[in-house]
Amino acid sequence: MKHTPEHLFTARHRALRKILGSAVRLGVLSDAANQIESLPQDWELDPGRGDAVLHLRQWAQSSTPVALNLDWAGSVDYPDGTALTERAVIRCASDAGIAVNVEILPEERVRLASLLDVELRDLAAVCPTRGCGTDHDFDPVDMFGWTRLLVAGTDDVYRWYCTPTCVSNALARAGETLAAADQRAELDGDL
């Protein structure tokens, strides 16, 4: 079997090879530990079986860890819909230019969002969920879990929002509008 000389690999190929090698080692060692652990008790010929499983798992965990730095590609996809009960796929790329999709499971989305700095959110961003932020007269039964909001003091109407984040953004936008109106009134001498 012919092997490609190392000097012919690009940086991207070397990075991918390192990632795959580490993943294969982790998988092989973990699988070996699982196979030994699953043996019936009557097959136990070596009293050190538990130690073997422990050592294999330790080697699997310590086998050349791959530190993969990812750059966000600027988009998040929701293949099954944008509801919090669906997964999100974050598009990224490694330093070597390898495309990586980070899949966030539904139960992890809220936890991840809570760890991100909410002060950096874009209040003017349009939610991709159809119907969010609209003033349609939906049947409340169809909007289970959504919030209908009217901020007193604004000229706005009742609007539907799909998540607490969208409600919070709407409240923040209304707060900015009301603060600007107060400032104008103060400058005009109405306050």
The domain ranges of the chain are 6-62, 70-116, 127-191
The answer to whether 165 touches 159, Cβ cutoff 8 Å, is no
Closest CA to 13 of 92, 98, 100, 102: 98
Q: What is the dihedral angle through the alpha carbons of 77, 81, 86, 87, rounded to the nearest 10 degrees?
A: -10
Q: What is the mean pLDDT of the chain?
A: 77
154-176 pLDDT, tens digit each: 888 999 999 898 999 999 889 98
Q: What pLDDT, on a 0 to 100 scale, did the predictor assign at position 78?
A: 85
Confidence of residue 73 (pLDDT cuts 50, 70, 90): confident
pLDDT at 167: 93
